[in-house]
Chain A
Amino acid sequence: MATTKPVIDLARVTKTYGEGETAVHAVAGVDLVVERGDYVAVMGASGSGKSTLMNIIGCLDEPTRGRYLLDGVDVRRRQEATLSRIRNRKIGFIFQSFNLIPRTSALRNVELPLAYAGVKPGERRARALAALDKVGLADRTDHEPSQLSGGQQQRVAVARAIVTEPVLLLADEPTGALDSHSTADVLDLFDELSAAGRTIVVITHEVEVAHRAKRILRMRDGLIVADDRTVPVHELPPAFRVKAAAS
């Protein structure tokens, strides 16, 4: 397993907004390698560049400088069409504000990435139903976002993120808009996904959320200033170890 290429490989990556004196170095030179199966939390004060970094990792934005290999593929200066295909195949996004398509059923929302990937309707439906089942919403498939609670909406978003079996799950403050109960639901899901071998990067302000990860990065002024590993990459996430120890 050690021979597989890392999911994320950033080298001296910067992102600068504006020019000259007013230039903002949102990401000021980041080197980061995330191995397959890792579960990484990114913390940092507001404005430290976490979202900017996530947008670069998620191929939603181009770095100003530096090299980025996603799953071994250099994604700099790609055509827009190529980038959307890469996002579709390799990355699952989970946003703070859920970002489901309004007035569209949970099932259709989860099917959407498969539709853009060109998967046939029958298979698409089966896979979307399986994903919804995995997040515990098998009985809510026909509900529209407005008919679901925040926690349920976020679970639909998780289902949509995992339905394409992406190599990387990217979550930007996924529990920022949720109460403690729904937060626990979503974090349990992440634990399961991590235990199943998925690579997860979570941006968060909450220490409790960060402590569920195997590795915690801290950012300040566009730089990674701390990188603490609590659990080795290929072991179960911390929550499972606590459970295992308790029993």
Chain B
Amino acid sequence: MNIQESTRFAIQGVTANKVRSALTTLGILIGVAAVIILVAVGTGSSKAVADSISKLGSNVLTVSSTSTSAGGGRAGAGGPGGSGGFAALFGGGSATTTDSGTKSRSPQLTMEDARALTDKTTAPDIEGVAPVVSAQSVTATYQGASHSVGTFTGTTAAYLLINNDSIATGSAFTDADYNDHARVAVVGTTVAKDLAGGDGTSIVGKTVAFNGKEFTVVGILGSKGSQGPQDQDDVVLAPATAVQDTLSGYGSISQIKVKAASADTTSAAQTQVETVLDGRHGTTSSDRDFSVFNQAQILSAASSSNATFTVLLGAVAAISLLVGGIGVMNIMLVTVTERTREIGIRKAIGAGKGDIVSQFLLEAVILSLFGAIVGVAVGLIGAHFTIVGVQPVVAPYSVILAFGVALATGLFFGLYPANRAAKLRPIDALRYE
């Protein structure tokens, strides 16, 4: 009795009940495909985040306020859209709002902070500075169409340079627009298409109302695609002065984007930012109410949170693989019970324990192997589609892992039923009805 013989018996066993074998296989198939696809989604979203962050260049610094004394939970890098909404609550008017019950100094980042950083004598390594003022829940309306804007940012012309934004149609707003408080805006392609229809280019030169405040669209940004669930083309950029006039009020600003002259001078620029702002805020490194991140730090924070995300996705998928394995065991136990008499016959005419074990173990392995192969195929095909805005990137380790685990599952969960079959005494098995 050799392995070929056992394999033939096992294949006979598997094909004897095709529907049942197919359903059992499906359990493994779904598990393997889920592991591959979900890990690919996790990897894909990590890659997208890393790509978009590294696109900014390594010489970009982000200054955010961390109001230590107010304790408002606004610490960390934070995307655009932190303090603008809070500042708006104060109704605007003063550039230096003070949180009640805190030290009587400006606890927030202000336009003056941003302006101070442009001073070449105190901050020689800084090439560009752009304040970021965020307006929350902005709805754009244009000729009856309306669109809820994802990110509405008030800034300066330097922002486009720092952020590596390009203009696809029309032009950007200028420093003159900033100084004139000109109500002009540059919109992302999503916003343009949503409002004007078609490719959206017809919106250039038209007036769009943002929460009722009218801005003239002067240009459309080049498309950047999605980063995870966040559509990077669902943005509107306008001069910060005009945004403060109309939408956000004159409170603190959410962030200041700073560009160092080169990648080599980034840390020097970071020190200069800290020195200038410490001087203005009267703080030291121990009680600083702002923080400066470079892209590497943001990248590592983002990738570590993405790694957690990937592990979680993988764990969920692994559970479905385990469930598939239990399905194999279940069916193998049913098979062994159903075929008790057959086992008795085989033993009576000379099958040894090993023959029976290998036959049923192989049956379990064939079920899971088939499920794993089709599962890998489904997983690889499935990973070609964009899932919740993420282009999955198949991680080779996940394919090998899923395949291996599926096989091991078949072996592990097949072992018990196979042993049970082999342990049957021929006399009892033959008597079984």
Asked whether A160 lies within 8 Å of B352 as measured between CB atoms, the reply is: no
Q: Does B199 contact A (CB under 8 A)?
A: no
A61-B427, A99-B430, A115-B1 given; A88·B16 CB < 8 A: no
Interface size on B (CB < 8 Å)?
22
Kindly name the residue among B342, B344, B427 whose own CB sees the greatest number of chain A CB atoms within 10 A.
B427
The distance in angstroms between the C-alpha atoms of A103 and B345, with both chains bound, is: 14
Asked whether B352 lies within 8 Å of A85 as measured between CB atoms, the reply is: yes
How many Å from the CB of B7 to the closest CB on chain A?
A: 12
Q: Does B349 contact A (CB under 8 A)?
A: yes
How many Å from the CB of B4 to the closest CB on chain A?
A: 9
How many Å from the CB of A227 to the closest CB on chain B?
A: 26
A95: chain B residues within 8 A (beta carbon)? 430
Q: Which residue of B lies closest to A102 (CB)?
A: B342
A60-B430, A84-B351, A112-B346 given; A104·B1 CB < 8 A: no
How many Å from the CB of B8 to the closest CB on chain A?
A: 9
How many Å from the CB of A15 to the closest CB on chain B?
A: 11
Q: Does B341 contact A (CB under 8 A)?
A: yes
The distance in angstroms between the C-alpha atoms of A138 and B265, with both chains bound, is: 92
B259: chain A residues within 8 A (beta carbon)? none
Q: How does the 8 Å CB contact mask read for B332-363 relative to A, with 1 for contact and 0 for none? A: 00000000011011111111111100000000
A99-B341, A115-B1, A116-B355 given; A88·B350 CB < 8 A: yes
How many Å from the CB of B353 to the closest CB on chain A?
A: 6
The count of A-to-B residue pairs whose CB atoms sit within 8 angstroms is 59
B12: chain A residues within 8 A (beta carbon)? 103-104
Q: Does A80 contact B (CB under 8 A)?
A: yes
> In residues 406-433 of chain B, which contact A (Cβ within 8 Å)?
426-427, 430
A99-B430, A116-B1 given; A84·B347 CB < 8 A: yes
Q: Which residue of A lies closest to B348 (CB)?
A: A93
Q: Does A117 contact B (CB under 8 A)?
A: yes
Q: Does A113 contact B (CB under 8 A)?
A: yes
How many Å from the CB of B334 to the closest CB on chain A?
A: 16
Q: Does A16 contact B (CB under 8 A)?
A: no
> In residues 1-47 of chain B, which contact A (Cβ within 8 Å)?
1-2, 5, 12, 16
The distance in angstroms between the C-alpha atoms of A160 and B350, with both chains bound, is: 12
Q: Which residue of A lies closest to B429 (CB)?
A: A60
The distance in angstroms between the C-alpha atoms of A81 and B422, with both chains bound, is: 11
The distance in angstroms between the C-alpha atoms of A4 and B368, with both chains bound, is: 54
Q: Which of B2, B16, B349, B353 contacts A93 (CB 8 A)?
A: B349
How many Å from the CB of B20 to the closest CB on chain A?
A: 14
B350: chain A residues within 8 A (beta carbon)? 84-85, 87-89, 113, 116-117
> In residues 99-138 of chain A, which contact B (Cβ within 8 Å)?
99-104, 112-113, 115-118
A60-B430, A99-B430 given; A87·B16 CB < 8 A: no
The distance in angstroms between the C-alpha atoms of A104 and B16, with both chains bound, is: 10
A60-B427, A84-B352 given; A118·B1 CB < 8 A: yes
Asked whether A60 lies within 8 Å of B348 as measured between CB atoms, the reply is: yes
How many Å from the CB of A187 to the closest CB on chain B?
A: 22
Q: Which residue of B lies closest to A100 (CB)?
A: B345
The distance in angstroms between the C-alpha atoms of A100 and B345, with both chains bound, is: 8
B352: chain A residues within 8 A (beta carbon)? 80-81, 84-85, 116
Q: Does A55 contact B (CB under 8 A)?
A: yes
How many Å from the CB of A132 to the closest CB on chain B?
A: 16
A81: chain B residues within 8 A (beta carbon)? 352-354
The distance in angstroms between the C-alpha atoms of A85 and B347, with both chains bound, is: 10
The distance in angstroms between the C-alpha atoms of A87 and B16, with both chains bound, is: 28
Q: Which residue of A lies closest to B356 (CB)?
A: A84
A89: chain B residues within 8 A (beta carbon)? 350
Asked whether B342 lies within 8 Å of A101 as measured between CB atoms, the reply is: yes
> In residues 343-388 of chain B, which contact A (Cβ within 8 Å)?
344-355
B344: chain A residues within 8 A (beta carbon)? 99
14 more A-B contacts (CB under 8 A) besides A80-B352, A116-B355?
A: A55-B427, A60-B430, A88-B350, A89-B350, A93-B349, A99-B341, A99-B344, A103-B16, A104-B12, A113-B349, A113-B350, A115-B5, A116-B1, A116-B349
14 contacts between A and B (CB under 8 A): A55-B427, A60-B430, A80-B353, A81-B353, A88-B350, A93-B348, A93-B349, A99-B344, A99-B348, A100-B345, A101-B342, A115-B5, A116-B351, A116-B355
